[in-house]
Structure 1
Amino acid sequence: MNDNNTELPSVQRTSREELRELVRSQLQALLEQNNLKGAKALLVPVQPPDIAEAIEGLPETMQAIAFRLLSKEEAIEVYEYLDSSIQYALIEEFKRQDVLDIVGKMSPDDRARLFDELPAKVVKRILEQLSPQERQTTSLLLGYPPDSAGRMMTPQYIAVKENITVAQALDRIRKLAHVSEIIYYLYVTDASRHLMGTISLRDLVVSDPEQLLSEITRREPVFVSTETDRKEVARLIQRYDFLALPVVDSEHRLVGIITVDDVMDVVEAETTKDIYALGGVASGKENYFQTNIFTVARKRVVWLLILLITNTATSAVIRAREDILEQVVTLAAFIPLLIDTGGNVGAQSSTVVIRGLNINAIGEGKVWRTIGRETAAGSLLGIMLSLIVTIWAYFLAGNLLVAISVGVSLLAITFLASFAGSALPFLFDRLGFEPTLMSAPFITTAVDVLGVLIYLTVAQQLLGGAE
């Protein structure tokens, strides 16, 4: 007991990052010593997200042991924060009632998200052992499209009728708070559960206890339907600074709410997917350090093979212009400079456009304006860079025509790259492809091939004519 009292002050003085690493290392050391009592005491003051991270950092043989040290209430919270692969491993480890009790008490939206990650046979087995009410609720959520509002909503909310008083509404909050996902909003419905309006907890607290809810209800609430894409849900919650957003079905009946913590998960997942896609990497839901290295390589090889094959066009262009390269060998030295600059300019333009598309900052009426603006910016960049490169190329090669060829080519390439970088994301978006994934590889390849073609054509015209 004394050991625990001396440990805690030092733990509390550390930063959050240091705390997580300290808990993980101490937990592992205690488990290696088979000191289960000490390990359990160590986890008492630690927050559920930090416990989950500590368990994820343990060797696989210790993860189930550490999870068993938690009380049932703690286990339910910690389980929701664990990586899906570890959640599955714990289900396989415990098989029966231990984890089934935890899964049964998870919030419906978190349970549906877990089931998305598990094999179908495991989901079927767990569903069969849930209570009829939980089974029906979970099956309802799983029936909606994967990226829809219906899939990520929770049916745990507080609904009221507008003919009751503020005092009665507060009593209802007290009774249902323990089974509701959020209590900061009340949703006013009619007898058929049609959404009529919303009331915030703040409105209730500052209102007269005998006042009717109809007098303080905010009409025409912002809501989404069960089929709304999760990206649109995230945009609405961000736009209006909501803590939760009501979800209605096709008949405008209130069926659930989406809370801001779930939206944050969506934003993180979408951002991660976009970052992977910009690098031409297939995104995955698995934890990086828990993914087999061969799986990592397999997910990356697809686009690399595509680029490898398509970049043979660059080699074909060079072979077709071998005569000018043989005459002026110095030209070959500037090819990497030109195609790398073009690729960088194209990547900058595509990044601006893709980000604008993702946050709805670029509407239908701004497509050509955006392309024109980026192309103009690329032209200005080309003028500035080509002047510098012309001087630099003359200094290196000592040949004025070679220097002019490099400068003129760079101007043309930056113009082309900025146009392609801004136009291709719009084109792919219009065709129904993922702009993030399609733009980066295509822009790089197109600029490489056309850049070399432009450069060697310009050089052949200038130097060939001089010959």
Structure 2
Amino acid sequence: MFVEKIKELLLKKDLKKLQEILNSETPINIAEFISEYEENENDILIIFRLLNKEIAAEVFAELDSDLQMKIVGSMTDSKLQSLLDELFFDDMIDFLEEMPSNVVKRVLENYKNENRSLVNQFLSYEEDSAGSLMTIEYLSLKSNWTVRESLTHIRKKVKDLETIDVAYVIDGKKNLMGDVTLRDLLLSNDEDIVENIMNKNVLYVTTSTNQEEAIELFKKYDLIVLPVIDKENILVGIITIDDMVDVIEEENTEDFQKMAAMAPSKEEYLESSVFELAKNRLMWLLVLMVSATFTGTIISKYENIIEQMVVLAAAIPMLMDTGGNAGSQSSTLVIRGMALGEIKTQDWLKVIWKELRVGLMVAIGLGFINFARMRFILKQDMKISFLVSFTLGAVVVIAKLVGGILPIGAKKLKLDPAIMAGPLVTTIVDAMALMLYFYIAMFLYKDVLNI
């Protein structure tokens, strides 16, 4: 209904009615409409100019960088500065990080010296650090204030802050001393001193802390906000849950891409160029292609056995596929467990023990079923049926162990565990499966093979 009404008013050029409807709608819905609107690019600019300052800032923060760039390109310096002044500081930094240098320069030229220095400081933080995620718009209270003084202060500041659920208690040098929730303040007596009701065991990160460590804290303790301090224990900002959710989504997307053997990309699929997609996939496919030549080398090494017993070749695809799938199952579960903090690198023996038992149970089931299939349905020789079924079981056990331990090994070497997922595990297991298969075949048929 909202979408059709906006399109109708744009067509009629009824800007007064359009402005009235837009400013009564939620910023998320407006941003979604702008993002999906494809009929006329100028209409997007018209819609944006009709929004009041507060709503325009919220809508702008929800748009992707391409749309933000189009909107900024149509603005005068004063209009742009007015818009950025309405943004929360972390949203403004996120915007600048995605913009080309000429836009950043244009923005900084309109800032006062102290603000320009602060923006430059935030832009200099490492991309994956807590410092790059934080905002300076947080609620702080002095330790010697009363509850009455604190609530008066909160009422004055509430309009400029992203969250007031938690206030951070600081001393005269802005050192972090503790935190206190708004609920605690409201339930305390007016004359109570903040230092006496605050929580002193406050969780925090530093500006250089990796964002993955911050994610772990948010998940483990169900946080909605996390303070950030510098190396001198001075409170410099906070990370809010909405920013952390975005980071978690980015991390998950990156892990999925690595697990599928692709170079990570921050661009949306439909927004990415064909060249970019091909480039992100080509290198990993090339690496896997080269590594897969080991499989061909192994087959070539034992081709005389295959020539003498062609029936052995028929089982190779099944052994390789089953081994690869079994390894992928284990690696996926272990990678997920590590991402959620359920599995640590020191748990490698526990992982091996668990995957060994799982592998044995799966191997026995698959081995018996395959033996019955080959012996009684396909009418294969007893030895052949045993050879393939035993190898299948052994490959499954090995694949489970390899798939379980490789991600932990990668983490130990300070690599991303996601790279040790499906395609790479499959390549390793394939080579091991073939070698095992032919060794067992040589042992069982040494009396008939000319080797």
Q: State whether TM-score is above 0.5.
A: yes
Deviation at 1:174, TM superposition (A): 0.6
Greater Cα shift, 267-276 or 67-76? 67-76
SS in 2 for 1:280: coil
Of 394, 414, 418, the residue aligned with 1:412 is: 394
Residues 1:422 and 2:404 are matched in the alignment: yes
Counterpart in the other structure of 2:95: 114
**Which consecutive residues of structure 1, in runs of 5 or more, have no partner in the other structure?**
1-10, 12-21
Deviation at 1:227, TM superposition (A): 1.4
Greater Cα shift, 231-240 or 258-267? 231-240
Counterpart in the other structure of 1:16: none
Task: Note the alpha carbon deviations across 1:244-301, whole angstroms, 9 max, x for none.
Answer: 1111111111111111111111111111111111111222111221222222222122
Cα distance between partner residues in 2 of 1:285 and 1:34: 37
CA contact (8 A) 2:206 2:229 kept: yes
SS in 1 for 2:315: helix
Deviation at 1:30, TM superposition (A): 5.0
CA contact (8 A) 2:335 2:407 kept: yes
Counterpart in the other structure of 1:91: 72
CA contact (8 A) 2:54 2:86 kept: no
Cα distance between partner residues in 2 of 1:290 and 1:80: 19
Q: How does 1:45-60 map to 2 (within 5 A)?
A: 45-59=24-38
CA contact (8 A) 2:259 2:419 kept: yes
**Which consecutive residues of structure 2, in runs of 5 or more, have no partner in the other structure?**
none
Q: TM-score, normalised by structure 2?
A: 0.92
Task: Tell me the amino acid that sits aligned with residue 241 of structure 1.
Answer: D
SS in 2 for 1:297: helix
Counterpart in the other structure of 1:458: 440
SS in 2 for 1:371: helix
Counterpart in the other structure of 1:255: 236
Counterpart in the other structure of 2:431: 449
Cα distance between partner residues in 2 of 1:464 and 1:419: 30
Of 141, 162, 167, the residue aligned with 1:160 is: 141
Of 337, 343, 346, the residue aligned with 1:365 is: 346
Q: 1:364 to 1:430 in 2, by over 3 A?
A: closer
Residue correspondences, number: 446
Q: 1:205 to 1:381 in 2, by over 3 A?
A: same
Q: How does 1:178-193 map to 2 (within 5 A)?
A: 178-193=159-174
Q: TM-score, normalised by structure 1?
A: 0.89
Task: Tell me the amino acid that sits aligned with residue 427 of structure 2.
Answer: T
Residues 1:402 and 2:384 are matched in the alignment: yes
Counterpart in the other structure of 1:103: 84
Deviation at 1:466, TM superposition (A): 4.0
CA contact (8 A) 2:207 2:230 kept: yes
Residues 1:305 and 2:286 are matched in the alignment: yes
Task: Tell me the amino acid that sits aligned with residue 178 of structure 1.
Answer: K
Q: 1:413 to 1:352 in 2, by over 3 A?
A: same
CA contact (8 A) 1:162 1:212 kept: yes
Counterpart in the other structure of 1:392: 373
The CA RMSD over aligned residues, in Å, is: 2.2
CA contact (8 A) 1:155 1:256 kept: yes
Of 46, 54, 57, the residue aligned with 1:76 is: 57
Residues 1:223 and 2:204 are matched in the alignment: yes
Cα distance between partner residues in 1 of 2:17 and 2:436: 71
Residues 1:245 and 2:213 are matched in the alignment: no
Cα distance between partner residues in 2 of 1:360 and 1:33: 56
Cα distance between partner residues in 2 of 1:42 and 1:385: 63
Of 118, 125, 128, the residue aligned with 1:137 is: 118
Task: Tell me the amino acid that sits aligned with residue 344 of structure 2.
Answer: G
Task: Tell me the amino acid that sits aligned with residue 49 of structure 1.
Answer: I
Task: Note the alpha carbon deviations across 1:90-136, whole angstroms, 9 max, x for none.
Answer: 22343644334222332121122222222233322322223444323
Cα distance between partner residues in 2 of 1:63 and 1:298: 32
Q: How does 1:180-329 map to 2 (within 5 A)?
A: 180-329=161-310
Deviation at 1:201, TM superposition (A): 0.6
Q: 1:93 to 1:453 in 2, by over 3 A?
A: farther
Q: Indicate the percent of aligned positions where both proteins have the same amino acid.
A: 36
SS in 1 for 2:378: helix
Deviation at 1:462, TM superposition (A): 2.5
Residues 1:149 and 2:130 are matched in the alignment: yes
SS in 2 for 1:94: coil
Q: 1:241 to 1:286 in 2, by over 3 A?
A: same
Of 353, 357, 366, the residue aligned with 1:376 is: 357
Q: 1:28 to 1:440 in 2, by over 3 A?
A: farther
SS in 2 for 1:197: strand
Cα distance between partner residues in 2 of 1:84 and 1:391: 59
Cα distance between partner residues in 2 of 1:215 and 1:436: 46
